């Protein structure tokens, strides 16, 4: 049995088990509007939000009513490429991509506040204990718990594909994909923020049900700890590296 109430704020690691984080959607869209002046439309009835870059070459589309569960699409023209993310993709990794989109267009305002990773996928994997395997031209990176994979297939239309599932459980499946012409640095940005050691904050009730009960998820309180909650989480990780404290 858990000691957390559904409304309790908690810190969760690893990030790929934390679910979407619906209460933090603004971190993915807000900076493009307020800092970079992207045009946007919003339907208050459906939540559908569409953003267009000032040069009208790049689009971000958020649609929580998509019947296939693809809530996020980033679309670029000339060259055409697309990135898409399903509902439970952690918002921190999505926001890491959307916030650097202006830099991909040459707009480096606020670059010091929104850094773009310089690490390759392989370098990030080594630093975060993700295993790397090769099969011909295909390279796969797998999280230490085996629940999340990133596959790079250079000859496929979907050149980079990230998949997650906790024992094929309901509401733990999510996926992300980048098509062939997508900038590799955006994929590296997504991966760096997906694999980061820093825990993410969620409402306990918003976590996927199986993640709440998985020994692979470390879940600690935001309020009520005797020390800073991030310090508490780090100490708990040291004592229980593959599970949450009981």
Q: What is the pLDDT of residues 69-111, one digit of tens each?
A: 999 999 999 999 999 999 999 999 999 999 999 999 999 999 9
User: Which pTM was predicted?
Assistant: 0.92
The predicted pLDDT at position 2 comes to 59
Q: Which residues pair with 13 in a beta bridge?
A: 218
Residues 6+ apart with CB under 8 A from 198: 13, 230
Whether 181 contacts 172, CB under 8 Å = no
pLDDT class of 22 with cuts at 50, 70, 90: confident
Classify 148 as helix, strand or coil: strand
Q: Which of 62-66, 160-164, 185-189, 234-238 has the lowest mean pLDDT?
A: 234-238
Residue 230 has pLDDT above 80, yes or no: no
> pLDDT digit string (tens) for 110-145?
999 999 999 999 999 999 999 999 999 999 999 999
Residues 6+ apart with CB under 8 A from 5: 204, 205
């Amino acid at each position: 049995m858990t000691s957390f109430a559904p409304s309790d704020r908690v810190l969760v690691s690893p990030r790929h088990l934390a679910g979407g984080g619906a209460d933090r959607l603004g971190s993915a869209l807000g900076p493009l509007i307020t800092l970079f002046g992207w045009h946007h439309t919003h339907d208050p009835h459906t939540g559908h939000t569409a953003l267009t870059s000032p040069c009208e070459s790049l689009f971000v589309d958020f649609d929580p009513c998509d019947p296939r569960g693809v809530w996020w699409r980033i679309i670029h023209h000339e060259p055409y490429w697309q990135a898409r993310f399903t509902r439970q993709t952690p918002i921190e990794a999505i926001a890491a991509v959307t916030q650097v989109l202006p830099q991909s267009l040459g707009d480096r305002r606020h670059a010091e506040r929104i850094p773009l990773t310089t690490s390759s996928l392989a370098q990030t994997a080594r630093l975060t204990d993700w295993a790397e395997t090769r099969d011909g031209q295909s390279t796969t990176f797998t999280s230490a718990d085996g629940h999340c994979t990133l596959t790079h297939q250079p000859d496929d239309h979907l050149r980079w594909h990230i998949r997650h599932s906790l024992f094929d459980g309901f509401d733990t499946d999510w996926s992300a994909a980048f098509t062939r012409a997508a900038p590799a640095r955006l994929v590296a940005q997504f991966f760096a923020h997906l694999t980061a050691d820093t825990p993410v904050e969620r409402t306990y009730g918003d976590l996927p049900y199986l993640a709440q009960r998985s020994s692979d998820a470390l879940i600690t309180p935001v309020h009520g700890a005797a020390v800073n909650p991030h310090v508490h989480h780090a100490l708990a990780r040291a004592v229980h590296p593959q599970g949450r404290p009981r």
